Amino acid sequence: MSVDLRTTYLGMELSNPVVVSACPMAEDVDQLARLEDAGAAAAVFPSLFEEQIEREELEIHGFYEQATESFAESVTYFPEMTDYNVGPGAYLRRLEEARKRVSIPVIGSLNGISAGGWVHYARQMQQAGASAIELNTFVITADLDADAATIEKRQVELVKAVRAAVTIPLAVKISPFYSATAHFAKQLVDAGADGLVLFNRFVHPDIDLDTLTVRPHLKLSRSYDGLLPMTWIALLHKRVDASLAATRGVHTAEDALKMLLVGADIVEVASTLYENGPEQVGVIRDGIRSWLEHREYESVEQAKGSLSYAHSPDPAAFERAGYLRTLASYTSRVV
Ligand SMILES: Cc1cc2nc3c(=O)[nH]c(=O)nc-3n(C[C@H](O)[C@H](O)[C@H](O)COP(=O)(O)O)c2cc1C
């Protein structure tokens, strides 16, 4: 008997749970077609950034030159952004092109921190054929006077604004750094998020000791990085009314299975594609199938969430008790 790998994410039925996470590979139509052939069930385009959209709108209206002084940061980092993705207009054309070329759902990604006019791009992504929107709310708040409630409120308002702009499903990709992550997740769902993508991976800068400069640094993930999203997916499964996507640290079928068992509807993969090529999506999918077959599961749906906090025979393992137990297990060991 063959295992039914189908899963439902954001109300969409997908052929299997392996999805391409937001990254430039998804935006290249030839690579995207390769990913589809390899078995990817859907793909998320790389993000289009609030700053890029706002800059383009200023340029259109001839205001950019006057605005650059107040918008000083943009002058230094936008040349690089143009290398990252193709910019707002071409982004929409690539989405349209992707829509025609592949039959898997293609999800548009918006990346920003404040509700504003730029949000209308969500609707344009929908018009260009995006099956859903993934909203990334990456922010590092260095302002000593900005409190948590204010920042969270701003993000909730942003979710409401994007929700109001589109009729397609909306997923929100968040960071793990909230003092009350579960409550914040619930607020996002109440604001209109159909799904949560856990978690954003921060790109921390590094120090170059030769030049004594701070430089951007993107390190690909390792399987170990998956433990944090896995814990939070376990804690949220069936407790918030939203689809859950695991992103971070899924490199193998084993990594993916753990995410599904704690309640993820899909896994989103990026690093492993850069390390092993697009075909890795098929390797992960086939590994999921073999493991489920071997364990006599009939479907992904049957396995999904069986070890989540809500269903686990040992829910305390996900909480402070698990932390204490883990530390206690080390006391008798001699290094
Ligand atoms: C080269 C590269 C580019 C990425 N670009 C984006 C992006 O534009 N928007 C976004 O939300 N995430 C972006 N990400 C993050 C991934 O979508 C993913 O969430 C993260 O890398 C964790 O998954 P992984 O462990 O499989 O890499 C990028 C990751 C990589 C490696």
Characterize the bridge pairing of strands 18-20 and 266-269. parallel
Tell me the CA distances in angstroms from 38 to 113, 254, 268, 274, one per residue in order: 34, 18, 15, 14
Helix (H) or strand (E) holding 199: none
Domain range list for the chain: 7-328
Tell me the CA distances in angstroms from 133 to 7, 27, 92, 277, one per residue in order: 18, 15, 13, 25
Question: Which residue among 91, 201, 223 is best mutated to probe the pocket of ligand 1, counting the most ligand atoms within 8 A of its Cβ?
Answer: 201
Average confidence (pLDDT) per 10 residues, the chain, 335 residues:
94 98 96 98 95 76 53 50 72 96 98 89 96 93 92 96 98 94 97 97 86 88 96 96 98 98 98 97 98 98 94 82 80 64
Helix (H) or strand (E) holding 97: helix 88-101
Contact 325, 314 (CB under 8 A): no
CA-271 nearest atom, ligand 1 = 27
pTM of the model: 0.92
Give residue ranges with CB within 6 A of ligand 1.
21-24, 46-47, 109, 111, 136, 173, 201, 220-221, 225, 247-250, 269-272, 274
The residue among 328, 311, 312 whose CA lies nearest residue 320 is 328
The residue among 292, 271, 276 whose CA lies nearest residue 224 is 271
The residue among 128, 136, 121, 55 whose CA lies nearest residue 98 is 128
d(CA 172, CA 193): 6
CATH number for the domain running over 7-328 = 3.20.20.70
The residue among 2, 1, 43, 5 whose CA lies nearest residue 260 is 5
The reported pLDDT for the residue numbered 121 is 93
d(CA 48, CA 81): 10
Question: Which residue among 18, 20, 21, 135 is best mutated to probe the pocket of ligand 1, counting the most ligand atoms within 8 A of its Cβ?
Answer: 21
Q: Tokens in use for 272?
A: 């492993």
